[in-house]
Amino acid sequence: MTTPADIQFHQAEPGQIATLDGKISVLVAPDGAMDALARKLNTLSKGALQRLAQSESFENLDEGEGRVLAFPAGLAAEAVQVVKLPKRPDVLLARKAGAAMARFQDGACALHVLAGNHRQASEISYGLALTAYRFGAHKSAETPPLGKVVFHVNHPEETAAAAHGHAALTEGVFFTRDLVNEPANILTTLDFAARLAAMQELGLEVTILEEGDLDALGMGALLGVGQGSEAPSRVVVMEWKGGGDEAPLALVGKGVVFDTGGISIKPAGGMEEMTMDMGGAAVVSGVMRALALRRARANVVGVVGLVENMPDGRAQRPGDVVKSMKGDTIEVINTDAEGRLVLADILWYAQQKFAPAAIVDLATLTGAIIVGLGHENAGVFSNDDALCAAFLKAATAEGEGAWRMPMGAAYDKLLKSRIADMQNVGGRPAGSITAAQFLRRFVKDETPWIHLDIAGVALLKKDSDLAPKGATGWGVRALDRLIRDRFES
C-alpha cells in the first residue's frame, strides 16, 4: 500500500535554522505575532517574514493557508512557506494548515516545520500526513518518495506521542484510497479478498466465504449480481475482538469491483470511474485496519460483499426474480441497481451470524444522492435517532460531510412488485430514499442501523481539503471516531 510520509519530531534549535536544507514552513498568527523560531527566521531573512505579515496579501490570506518566499536571503533552504494560523486554532483548522504544508512540499526534498510550542502541532502533522498521498503504482516512471518531514517543536516526545494515534488512522485512510484507486483488472474480487486476508498479520480474524458457501447460506441476491462475471463472488468477514463480551458493531460494505450496469448497461461516458463502486467495502476495510493498528478496545466486525457486475450470456436479466438469504423474493427491474442486492444478503448475514449491537452499511449506491447533495455530503439514513446523531457528531468533528435524509413507509409503495415480494427499484423519484427503504427491509426492527450512501464523496475529480483528487477515504475517520465515542470501552 501507499506508504505515509516519514514525519519526525525534533527538539527545536533556533541556532540550526540557517542551515536547514529543502523547504521550511513557519507559523505566523493573523495579527503578525511570532514565536521564538519564527522571530529567528525573520532575523535571518532580514525581516522578510515581518514584511509579509504586515502586507495586504497576508491580511487577505485565509487562515490555514500560506504564502511562499522563494530563495530567501540568509538561509540554506530553497523556499519558506509562511502559514497564517492562530495560536489556538480548532482541530480542523490545524489540519488545514498541515494540508497546505503538504502541498508546499510535494516532492522529494525535506520539509522542516517550525512549530515550536504550538498547541496543535500534532494535528498539523495529521493534516499533512493525510494530504501527502500519491498513488503512483501504475506509472512507468517510478514516483520518487516524498522527502522526510521534520517538526521542530519544544517538546518532541509529547508531540510525537499525541501524533502516534493518528498514524493508524492515516494508514487506514491510505488503504481505503489505494483500494478505490486501483483499476478493476488489478483489484479483482480474488485480489481484494487476498488483501483483506493479509490483515490477519495485524490481529484481525479473517474468513473468506466462497460461492459454494454463499449458495449454501441462500445468498441468491448477491450471487445473482456476479453470475455474469468470470470473477467469482466472495464475502469477506473481518473480526476485531478488542472489547469484552459485548455484542459487536457491524460494518457492512458494498464491494462491486466494477459495475458495467449488467444487462441494463451504463452509458460509456464516465464508466471508467466504476472501478470505485467497491468504495463502501474499501471504507470498511480501512476502518478495520485502523482499529487493528491502534489496538482498539472495541468489538467490531466488518463484512464486505465482493462481486463484479458484467453483461454476459449468463448474466442476470431485468425481470428475473431472486431469493435473498432472508427468504424474501426480489424482482430485478434494473440490473444496474445491484448494490442493494449485495447489501441485502450481507446485512442479513451479519445479523444472523453476529447479533450486532448496531449496523452501519456503506455503499456507492445511487446517482440520486449526488443530485441531492452533490459531492460535499454523504447521505445518511437511519432507523435510530441516537445512533444517527452520534455518527453525525463524529462526522462533523472529523470534517467529513454528512447529511441525514428522510425515510418513511410511504416510499415503500414504490417498491411493490407484481410477481415478487418487492422490486429492486422504485423509479426516478426519491431514488436514494427508495434504495434505503429497500435495505431497511433486511434490517431487524430491534437493530439500530445507519445506511451511508457515499456515491458523491468516495472519489472526486478535484483536490479536497485533506486529499488530492481521486479516492478520498471518506468515512474512515468518522467511523473510527464513532467507535471511540460510543463503542470503545
C-alpha dist (Å) from residue 134 to 191, 271, 280, 373: 21, 23, 21, 27
Nearest alpha carbon to residue 289 among 433, 427, 169, 429: 169
- Does residue 195 have an active-site annotation? no
Alpha helices of 182-295 — where are they, by DSSP H? 189-197, 211-217, 220-226, 279-293
3-state SS of 11-64?
A: ECCHHHHHHCCCEEEEEECCCCCCCHHHHHHHHHCCCHHHHHHCCHHHHCCCCC
Which DSSP symbol is given to 310?
A: -
Half-sphere exposure of 475 (CA within 13 A, CB side): 38
Catalytic residue among 39, 103, 134, 266: 266
- Does residue 416 have an active-site annotation? no
Distance CA 284, CA 206 (A): 13
Catalytic residue among 40, 340, 440, 441: 340
Q: How far is CA 150 from the centre of its chain?
A: 26
Distance CA 460, CA 128 (A): 19
CA-derived radius of gyration, the chain = 24
152 three-state secondary structure: strand
Q: Around Cβ 271, how many Cβ atoms within 10 Å? A: 14
Distance CA 104, CA 93 (A): 17
Amino acid code (one letter) for 401: G
Strand partners, 68: 81
CA-CA-CA-CA torsion for 426, 431, 436, 441, nearest 10 degrees? 0
Residues serving a catalytic function are 266, 340
